[in-house]
């Protein structure tokens, strides 16, 4: 991949996509595979904000049954199956254990079982996966003793049993988003990260004809022209609209904050979900030999650029965890890592952001006097591919051009062309015995068929075959990230191209080794290497109790630029 902004010569695109998260990536990919000339620009790094702050679920939205959003649940279940098909190395079925008790009527065994039966009915096609190993079974009910046997750390007080159903987990959402970006590029999309939109270009009759961009890597400013612009941001919706209106929109987006913490291993094979005293659900996910705990749903008031995860919010999550799970009391010293982000919510949703669904809306901003601009609001990771398909329906009408049917539900993502994951992993382990089985399994899952290029780099320079963590990741991944995946900072590499930093501080030696390896590729000076290490270190500092975010708390993954209101196509 190349950053097109560095050699842009003034081409006019059919479509400009603002935002390089999962929504923007899916829209760009869908548009390009239908024959449109597309440019995608991201203010920071691809998938580095809202799309990176997920709970790592590709799920059908079981909890939306409580608000009777059956259409959203069915859409999510259908898209879950499609994600299993097109991204087999990233998306896997995982058992979810929902504990039941007598504390609330909505969490009793029979109420939960009724929901499970309905969920099974709505996911009637879950067995129709390309890879047989991805097929999802029906739910089952467990008694109290079996629950404790399988997951000894659940809270036993009031426990009556559990229901176990299957949803899917995305093992590396940042790389899954990157796979959509790469798929878009394979169809001709021109992409650039670190390319911030600073304004819009207008024709004499006030039609949006492109965007004004500042390339943060080169410092260059340029005008990128396009017949139609799609704003695929999220939490920055009102701010981007302000760039077009020359003022901040009076209709501000609602933003929900979600944070997660990572601890040592607490559960075995199940995602364990329990209801809090306030009626919310918390979960513990088994992930890379650790546990991922989340999430929160609190309305965030303020500028999205100012968002930080605070010690106060972490303490609130810990308090809920201590009240809801097991007998172990968690404190800040148990936290290995944390992350948080902002989710954009559709304006007319419920007052309680926890009860707000992940519906999405597609707006034609022509009603605002902004002809040539479309904005997307809301949505969730699982339904991003279908959201893009619906965006292209609006695009087709706007450009008065009939587009061919999408292939995004029928074609593997780039690098994911793997009919049988089990056979694929077995084969690459056997064929590459000069690398450990653990390294090969990690590369096979997170790089898919692109693992070969990573190994080629390592074989040409055996020092790059060195493993850098317990997952078996190797130094060649750092070089690959720079040469082929547009990684431009140490944090890009640590958190979005590899998993070296996503379980917490890997230690001084590994940080310096990774930074020096990246520095040789990117021609960093010794001063720049030191600066990059310092920035990475700040990301590992866990905010402490009493920190309300007023004194430069650790920057978190907050989201990306978004859009606003206008004539809308609503998806529920």
Contact 82, 56 (CB under 8 A): no
**267 has pLDDT over 90:** yes
The whole-angstrom separation of Cα 159 and Cα 142 is 11
Q: In the 3-class helix/strand/coil scheme, how is 361-420 assigned residue by residue? A: EEEEHHHHCCCCEEEEEECCHHHHHHHHHHHHHHHHHHHCCCCCCCCCCCCCCCCCCCCC
Question: Fold match between 4-50+174-253+358-411+560-571 and 421-540?
Answer: no
pLDDT at 254: 80
CB atoms within 10 A of CB 264: 10
Q: What is the mean pLDDT of residues 481-489?
A: 98
Domain residue ranges of the chain, discontinuous segments joined by +: 4-50+174-253+358-411+560-571, 421-540
Residue 270, pLDDT above cutoff 70 = yes
- Given a cut of 60, is residue 404 above it in pLDDT? yes
Of residues 89 and 351, more confidence is placed in: 89
Res 487: pLDDT: 98
* Cis before 389 (ω within 30): no
Q: Return d(Cα 428, Cα 93) in angstroms, integer.
A: 22
**Distance, CA of 482 to chain centre:** 21
Share of the chain above pLDDT 90, in %: 75
Percent of the chain with pLDDT over 70: 92
| pLDDT at residue 346, rounded to an integer | 62
How confident is the model over 227-240, as a mean pLDDT? 86
Written as six digits, the tokens of 99 are 């504990």
- The most confident of the ranges 113-127, 336-350, 352-366 is 113-127
**Residues contacting residue 336 through CB under 8 Å, at least 6 positions apart:** 262, 263, 264, 290, 503, 504
Q: What is the pTM of this model?
A: 0.92
Length of the chain: 572
Q: Using CA atoms, how far apart are residues 89 and 241, in angstroms rounded to an integer?
A: 37
pLDDT of residue 447: 98
Instruction: Report pLDDT for 304.
Output: 86
Which of 93-97, 359-363, 436-440, 499-503 is least confident?
359-363
- Using the predicted structure, report yes or no on whether residue 374 has a pLDDT greater than 70: yes
Fold of the domain built from segment(s) 421-540: Helicase, Ruva Protein; domain 3 (1.10.8)
Q: State the pLDDT confidence band at 8, using cuts at 50, 70 and 90.
A: very high
What digits encode the pLDDT tens for the residues 510-536? 999 999 999 999 999 999 999 999 999
The residues facing 165 across adjacent strands are 96
Q: What is the mean pLDDT of residues 165-180?
A: 97
Q: Is 476 helix (H, G, I), strand (E, B) or coil?
A: helix
Alpha-carbon span 411 to 393, nearest angstrom: 20
DSSP calls for 158-185: TEEEEEEEEEEEES-HHHHHHHHHHHHH
Distances (CA, A) of 415 to 23, 183, 406, 452: 19, 8, 19, 11
Stretch 475-493: mean pLDDT:
98
Q: To the nearest whole number, what is the mean pLDDT of the chain?
A: 90
Please tell me the distance from the alpha carbon of residue 466 to that of residue 127, in angstroms, as a whole number: 40
For the structural domain made of 4-50+174-253+358-411+560-571, what CATH number should be given?
Answer: 3.50.50.60
CA atoms within 13 A on the CB side of 462: 2
Compute the distance between CA of residue 560 and CA of residue 43 in angstroms, rounded to an integer: 8
Q: Is residue 368 pLDDT above 50, yes or no?
A: yes
């Amino acid at each position: 991949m190349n950053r097109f902004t560095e050699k842009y010569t003034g081409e006019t695109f059919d479509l400009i996509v603002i935002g390089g998260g999962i929504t923007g990536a899916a829209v760009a990919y869908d548009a390009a595979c239908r024959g449109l000339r597309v440019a995608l620009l991201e203010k920071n790094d691809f998938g580095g904000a809202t799309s990176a702050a997920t709970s790592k679920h590709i799920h059908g939205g079981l909890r939306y049954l409580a608000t009777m959003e059956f259409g959203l649940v069915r859409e999510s279940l259908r898209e879950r199956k499609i994600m299993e098909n097109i991204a087999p190395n990233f998306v896997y079925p995982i058992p979810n254990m929902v504990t039941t008790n007598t504390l609330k009527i909505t969490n009793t065994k029979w109420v939960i079982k009724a929901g499970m039966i309905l969920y099974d009915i709505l996911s009637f096609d879950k067995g129709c996966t390309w890879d047989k190993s991805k097929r999802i079974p029906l739910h089952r009910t467990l008694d109290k003793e079996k629950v404790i046997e399988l997951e000894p750390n659940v809270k036993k007080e009031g426990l009556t049993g559990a229901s176990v159903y299957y949803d899917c987990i995305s093992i590396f959402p940042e790389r899954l988003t990157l796979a959509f970006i790469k798929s878009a590029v394979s169809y001709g999309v021109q992409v650039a990260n670190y390319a911030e939109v600073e304004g819009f270009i207008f024709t004499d009759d006030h039609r949006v004809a492109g965007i004004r961009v500042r390339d943060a890597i080169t410092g260059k400013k340029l005008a990128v022209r396009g017949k139609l612009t799609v704003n695929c941001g999220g939490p920055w919706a009102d701010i981007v609209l302000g760039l077009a209106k020359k003022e901040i929109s009076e209709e501000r987006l609602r933003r929900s904050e979600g944070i997660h913490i990572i601890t040592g291993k607490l559960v075995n094979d199940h995602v364990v979900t329990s209801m809090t005293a306030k009626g919310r659900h918390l979960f513990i996910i088994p992930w890379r030999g650790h546990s991922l705990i989340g999430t929160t749903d609190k309305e965030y008031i303020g500028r999205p650029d100012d968002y930080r995860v605070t010690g106060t919010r972490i303490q609130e999550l810990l308090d809920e965890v201590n009240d809801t799970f097991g007998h172990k009391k968690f404190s800040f010293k148990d936290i290995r890592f944390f992350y948080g982000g902002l989710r954009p919510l559709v304006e007319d949703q419920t007052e309680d952001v926890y009860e707000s669904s992940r519906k999405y809306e597609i707006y034609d901003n022509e009603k605002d006097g902004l002809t040539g601009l479309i904005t997307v609001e809301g949505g969730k990771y699982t339904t991003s591919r279908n959201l893009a398909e619906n965006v292209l329906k609006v695009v087709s009408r706007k450009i008065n051009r009939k587009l061919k049917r999408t292939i995004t539900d029928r074609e593997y993502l780039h690098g994911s062309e793997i009919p049988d994951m089990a056979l694929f992993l077995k084969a690459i382990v056997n064929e590459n015995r000069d690398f450990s089985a653990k390294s090969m399994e990690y590369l096979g899952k997170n790089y898919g068929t692109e693992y070969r290029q990573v190994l080629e780099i390592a074989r040409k320079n055996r020092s790059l075959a060195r493993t850098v963590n317990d997952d078996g990741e190797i130094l060649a991944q750092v070089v690959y990230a720079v040469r082929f995946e547009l990684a431009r900072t140490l944090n890009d590499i640590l958190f979005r191209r590899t998993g070296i930093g996503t379980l917490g501080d890997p230690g001084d030696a590994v940080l310096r080794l990774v930074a020096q390896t990246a520095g040789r590729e990117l021609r960093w000076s010794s001063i720049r290497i030191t600066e990059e290490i310092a920035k990475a270190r700040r990301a590992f500092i866990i905010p402490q109790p009493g920190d309300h975010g007023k004194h430069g708390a650790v920057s978190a993954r907050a989201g990306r630029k978004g859009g606003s209101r206008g004539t809308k196509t609503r998806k529920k």
